[in-house]
Copies of this chain bind each other. A is one copy, B any other.
Amino acid sequence: MPAPALAPLSTPSNGTVPTAGNLFTLENRVFCCYLFWATVLVAKMLLMSLLTALQRFRYKLLALVPLKLRRKIFPNEEDLFFKNIEVQFDDPHVERVRRAHRNDMENILPYFIMALIYISTNPNQDVACNLFRVASVARIVHTLVYAVYPVPQPSRILAFGTMLLITFYMAAVVALRTLSFI
């Protein structure tokens, strides 16, 4: 589907420059691209919660086998369905997923805000869309090589650095544009 050039309906009809119109509508191709990839990343982040729970339940099933084999990883007392399992916090598989999840929060959540306000500067459409795509795919790769199937470095650092650099680039663009409002 060819994307409309730039939100003609959302701008006042007096021929103002595009920046005067509303850039946060479905008629702005850049905003739509942001919507799609932000949605993908939100879903990915929420799946981390489920992945953590899955790792925890994997061991809950072990409670049915002899006591010595169980690992005890539920952080809250009320989560212990079997009272002879102690509360523990240091299961390596669970902690790995939790670190990956925390890393997501540290990087993706600021990116959401940064990319959203970057759209308001009315950037070049192709540049902006491709930045959103590359950053999002990089974070999906990051999760795969960190939490799902650990892969030797530097795969994780490269995936991590890609979104970081893109966010810094957007920050530079926005900051230069609004420097007079310091």
Contact = CB atoms under 8 A, between A and B. Distances in A.
B178 A35 contact: yes
A151 B78 contact: yes
Given A78-B152, A113-B38, A181-B36, A105 B105 contact: yes
B120 A25 contact: yes
Given A110-B45, A181-B129, A39 B76 contact: no
Contact of A106 (B45, B75, B175): B45
**Interface majority SS on A: helix, strand, loop or mixed?**
helix
Contacts of A174: 35-36, 39
**Size band of the interface chain A makes with B:** 35 or more
Contacts of A11: 12
Interface in A1-45: 1, 3, 9-14, 16-17, 19-27, 29, 31-36, 38-40, 42-43, 45
A24 B96 CA distance: 39
B105 A29 contact: no
Copy count, this protein chain: 3
Given A23-B25, A26-B121, A101-B106, A39 B175 contact: yes
Given A23-B25, A76-B150, A120-B24, A109 B109 contact: yes
Contact of A114 (B39, B48, B95): B39
B152 A110 contact: no
A38 B111 CA distance: 11
Interface in A129-165: 129, 133, 146, 150-153, 156, 164
20 contacts: A3-B180, A9-B16, A19-B27, A22-B25, A23-B24, A24-B120, A31-B120, A32-B178, A32-B180, A33-B178, A38-B113, A39-B174, A39-B175, A42-B110, A43-B175, A45-B110, A75-B95, A101-B106, A105-B105, A109-B110
